[in-house]
Structure 1
Amino acid sequence: MNQPPINELVKKADCRYTLVVESSKRARELVAGAQPLIAPKDRQPVSIAVEEISRGLLSFHRNLEDEED
């Protein structure tokens, strides 16, 4: 499966860190039994999570107030 370019994925998040954290969280949800939001062409949870993010099916934001403490 061709993965979307990182530059396109970063546009969906505020930075690469957020992208990595959120895609790994979603991959863990998929491993735990959550249903994919797409018809997966690949069985790898990380690939599914990245594809969901690339299609705009997941939204997230970092809580910057916690980082200031």
Structure 2
Amino acid sequence: MLYPSIDLLLEQVDSKYSLVILSSKRAHELELGAQPMIESDKFVSVKNVGKALEEIAAGDVVIDPNPELKRELLRLQEEERKAMKRREHQELESRITKDNRI
């Protein structure tokens, strides 16, 4: 990998370990369809890991300063998603029961 150089990347992230984790998470986000933070035609890399590293080098992707807060937010979102599924399931069961009585 020639660009971005490890020296340039380590100016943005304080350790190689953190760099690996951050770039991996961002590459997964890109793979799942997240919007790139750099214009698509300006990427040097064609693969998502390279694109993630370019975004980190540009300073667009950073480590979350409060990971506990982010984990709590994700937990609450997951609970809300499960509650919504339960409500939808109960509503469907109610409609089925109502239709069977007719």
Q: Same fold (TM over 0.5)?
A: yes
Stretches of structure 1 lacking an aligned partner (at least 5 in a row): 64-69
**Given residue 9 of structure 1, which amino acid in structure 2 is its aligned partner?**
L
Distance 1:37 1:53, change over 3 A: same
Verify: 1:48 aligned to 2:51, yes or no: yes
**Larger RCO (CA under 8 A, 6+ residues apart):** 1
How far the C-alpha of 1:61 sits from its partner, in A, is 5.1
Q: Which residue of 2 aligns with 1:67?
A: none
Higher helix content, 1 or 2: 2
Secondary structure in 2 matching 1:46: helix
Question: Aligned equivalents of 2:45 and 2:9: distance in 1?
Answer: 18
- Residue pair 1:13, 1:61 contacting (<8 A) in 2 also: no
* Identity over aligned pairs, percent: 43
Stretches of structure 2 lacking an aligned partner (at least 5 in a row): 67-102
Corresponding pairs, count: 63
Question: Aligned equivalents of 2:34 and 2:2: distance in 1?
Answer: 23
Higher Cα Rg: structure 1 or 2? 2
Deviation track 1:10-32 (CA, whole Å, cap 9, x = no partner) reads: 11111000001100100000001
Question: Aligned equivalents of 2:65 and 2:15: distance in 1?
Answer: 10
